[in-house]
Amino acid sequence: MASARLPLLDALKGACCLAIVLHHLATYGPMSDVVHQAAPMPIDWLYDRARLAVQVFLVLGGFLAAGALAPDGRPVVDDALALAWKRYRRLVPPLLFAVAFAALVTALVRPWFAHASLSAPPTLPQLLAHALLLQHLLGFEALSAGVWYVAIDFQLFAASALLAVVARRASHRSALPVLVVLLAAASLLYFNLYTAWSDGAPYFFGSYALGMLARWSAEPRLARAALPAIAALGAAALWLHFRMPIAVATAAALPLAVAARAGWLSSHWPRAGALTWLGERSYSIFLIHYAVVIAFNATWHRVFPAGAWVNAAGMFAAVVASVAAGAVLYRHVESRPLAWPPQFRRPPSRGNA
């Protein structure tokens, strides 16, 4: 499968990104509170169901990680620490920018907008914990919505890279898929049943692993086992205890596996459009939208404290502004990785001359 961008995956990420922005608009009032009085059903749906898009992100993350770490199920990496560091350097610069922007926005609106959606003024230890992606594990309040997912994504990728290195040293071509299935079963049948684990990778590894198996379903050597493994893991988890997030993850992984096996993901469908454009920028939009949502809620509540239609228009404007802000963050930060720390190289040897 080509290593270039896959339009269908970008379109899925774009749609899921919009769902998360709308979910947080429904979660953080008061615009959604005003609209809810006139139209409770769509706001309730956005609050209860749109957040399930995170499960699709997890599946897609596992799919892409498998392609990078072990395209055919056999690991192609031997340095988990270097891979984790590379991932960290990609994730953290735009995250820190978004967190700083969110802290600035909340500081500006706090004097005239008292609302539960505002985070407390940040402390230095709290900012350091965010920079290290440890805020929830250390018990700090998040300074922006969605930062928990970035930490989980990093944990999942780093854990998968470590598994790949271990499997490579095992010198068995199916060692990594077997390890992934076993750990996915542990996650889906045990860890995911207890919210006490929800700040760590074990809680979410089942959904991530379903995405990895979906990627391997495209490989002839694993095709006959990967798709049944997805179905069996999902069915067993839901039989043990039905959870809508796991149902969504399974429902996303199965057609993704079929599409990968049929070669549909390597095609140029869908053609480049709004959703694929959003998908490329989905991480930046995901990071920056909380600050934009807070700014719009504060401003709209001050100017338009009532009126369902005008507040619905405010919610729409917040979505558009979130996308625009995300596009700026993508262009100037995410797509331009910082050369940090600087890489020092020895000058070339001049020989004995």
Q: Where are the domains of the chain?
A: 7-334
At 130-143, the pLDDT tens digits run 999 999 999 999 99
Q: What is the pLDDT of residue 170?
A: 84
The answer to whether 131 touches 37, Cβ cutoff 8 Å, is no
In the chain, alpha helices (H): 7-27, 31-38, 40-48, 53-69, 80-109, 124-131, 147-170, 175-189, 201-216, 223-240, 244-262, 274-280, 282-303, 308-329
Q: What is the pLDDT of residue 119?
A: 87
Q: Determine the average pLDDT of the residues in 330-342.
A: 73
Q: What is the pLDDT of residue 338?
A: 59
Tokens of 293: 């949502």
* Cα end-to-end distance, the chain, whole Å: 49
Q: What is the pLDDT of residue 4?
A: 61
Q: Determine the average pLDDT of the residues in 29-43.
A: 95
d(Cα 165, Cα 78) in Å, to the nearest integer? 5
Q: Residue 50 contacts by C-beta under 8 Å, 6 or more apart in sequence?
A: 19, 20, 22, 23, 26
* pLDDT at residue 313 tops 60: yes
Q: Determine the average pLDDT of the residues in 153-164.
A: 97
Q: Residue 263 contacts by C-beta under 8 Å, 6 or more apart in sequence?
A: 218
Sign of CA dihedral 22, 192, 116, 287: negative
φ, ψ of residue 29 in degrees (nearest 5) = -75, -170
- Among 4-13, 53-62, 243-252, 300-309, whose mean pLDDT is lowest? 4-13
Q: What is the pLDDT of residue 43?
A: 97
Q: What is the pLDDT of residue 1?
A: 42
Q: Kindly indicate the confidence band of residue 115, based on its pLDDT and cuts at 50, 70 and 90.
A: confident
Block residue for tokens 């039905």: 242
d(Cα 187, Cα 207) in Å, to the nearest integer? 9
d(Cα 282, Cα 158) in Å, to the nearest integer? 21
